[in-house]
Structure 1
């Protein structure tokens, strides 16, 4: 093994960038799931040709299959921002409204563990997805 990898020498500023990531950033870099990659490629290309965001996507499966990574790839391929949260972190409709109001047009919102959303958050999410508007009752 190379000696420089084993010695605890300090890293010089600029030697490593802040955004070093081992996750793939494009469909081409993503290994495996060829059929899924083909479908996503078609979805992304169609959205680009329309000049719109990709349609809503739902990635399902056990932990470790790359759902979060795929969300990042979709955002990267679309030239959009990625915002990640989790179902349990969204306790009230206002929590989701706060996140949605900060998204730029075309941004990707990935909700990990979406099956754990509360009913109150679901009631805000579904109209936001379908109609691109927030329905919040104040009072």
Structure 2
């Protein structure tokens, strides 16, 4: 992989806050997102992998959480429907995708610091394997590192 989750974990460690991870496909209903958001503490990092797979109705719930740190939940049906507003603590959202073109423009535009990660080259992967072997005090032959 590209190290997206690892990078998000490093951000939370540097900020000295808790890390919470989920993925777009797991958030299929507003209640799923609400369950995640309402368990966050102030300044926590929330990482959503495959964020491009959120359905549009979930994205709309996320917009308010990102911009206003609140959650608007519709309660009831028909003419008796009302909106319940839940205040959320401020949090950092890190969204990750390998399919940027599938991310809706309104969601993409709400992120303050977009980053693009590149895949490691073959030689970089070989160096990572060799370094890992050194850290573990393990010997590895060049051919094995390149396998």
Q: Could you say which TM-score interval applies, normalised by the shorter chain? A: 0.5 to 0.7
Q: Does 1:120 align with 2:54?
A: no
Q: Does 1:136 align with 2:73?
A: yes
Computing the radius of gyration from Cα coordinates, the structure with the larger value is 2
In 1, Cα distance between equivalents of 2:67 and 2:3: 26
TM-score, length basis structure 1: 0.54
Task: Report the number of matched residues.
Answer: 76
In 2, Cα distance between equivalents of 1:124 and 1:94: 10
Residue number in structure 2 paired with 1:82: 19
Note if contact 1:127-1:135 (Cα within 8 Å) is conserved in structure 2: yes
| Displacement after TM superposition at 1:66 (Å) | 0.9
- Name the Cα RMSD after superposition: 0.6
For residues 32-111 of structure 1, the aligned pairs below 5 Å read 64-111=1-48
In 2, Cα distance between equivalents of 1:98 and 1:124: 12
In 1, Cα distance between equivalents of 2:67 and 2:31: 18
Q: The residue matched to 2:73 in structure 1 has which SS?
A: coil
Query: Would you identify which runs of 4 or more consecutive aligned residues in structure 1 move more than 6 Å?
Result: none
| Displacement after TM superposition at 1:110 (Å) | 0.2
Q: The residue matched to 2:48 in structure 1 has which SS?
A: strand
TM-score, length basis structure 2: 0.51
Unaligned ranges ≥5, structure 2: 77-147
Unaligned ranges ≥5, structure 1: 1-63
In 2, Cα distance between equivalents of 1:123 and 1:137: 13
